[in-house]
Amino acid sequence: MGARFFYTAFADEIHLGGLLLDNSISRQGHEFASKIGQYWREVPDSSGKNLIVKEVIVPQAGTLLSIIYDNKVVYQTYMGRRQVPMDEKVQQAIVLVLDAVANANVDSRSPDLAGDEF
């Protein structure tokens, strides 16, 4: 006879968080994005939301790293050409990202708060 295939949907068991899009260029940028990504995986209620790490080269100064959440820049910092410890910058960034996530969750759940001020 033919082979039988059984398909069982596990959709309610799989919970995917938001994505981290890494648009960094330099080694420092990749390291920064990687460390942010470690924290981002643990953020609850991030389903359907994306975090973007964007790096822009600033001539003769280094790079500008930005974190964008919900189409808003929530953190920016300059990185020089030299390798520097970035744990403090990552900690500052993740605090601001968590604040943005919390504010977005409050705004989306409360019908009394109008986003357009009317």
Range of the domain at 65: 19-105
C-alpha distances (whole Å) from 44 to each of 5, 49, 85 are: 35, 11, 28
pLDDT, position 15:
53
Pick from 96, 98, 24: nearest CA to 65: 24
49 located within any domain? yes
Domain holding 74: CATH number? 3.30.160
61 located within any domain? yes
| Eight-state DSSP code of residue 73 | E
Mean pLDDT over the full length of the chain: 79
89 located within any domain? yes
Report field, pTM of the whole predicted structure over 0.85: no
Mind listing the pLDDT tens digit for each residue in 34-51?
999 988 888 776 677 889
114 located within any domain? no
Query: What average pLDDT does this structure show over 19-38?
Result: 91
> How many domains is the chain built from?
1
